[in-house]
Amino acid sequence: MAAILELVQAGYLNRLLLSQDVCTKTMLKAYGGMGYSYVLEFVVPELKRLGIMEDQIGKILVENPRRVLTFAEPRP
């Protein structure tokens, strides 16, 4: 979390993306793992506690992935 805060403060907000990996059954909540909601339930509140603003979190979680994952048709 501290590294994310440092990157935001250093001006890299537009380049940040967050992800997590859930690749085995034991990583699911039903089997004792953190589940798919880990970023929203644990990471986001911690980022807010560290002083990252709601609009900055929206940029990291919504706007940046939208921009990066938007595919354009190749030029002829």
Residue 60 within a domain: yes
Residue 74: pLDDT band (50, 70, 90) is: confident
Read off the pTM: 0.81
Residue 71 pLDDT? 83
Residue 27 within a domain: yes
> pLDDT of 20-57, one tens digit each?
889 899 998 899 898 998 999 999 999 999 999 999 99
Residue 75 within a domain: no
Residue type (1 letter), 42: F
Residue 51 pLDDT? 96
Residue 32 within a domain: yes
Q: For the chain, how many structural domains are there in total?
A: 1
CB atoms near residue 31 (< 10 Å)? 10
Residue 58 pLDDT? 96
Domain that holds residue 46: 2-68
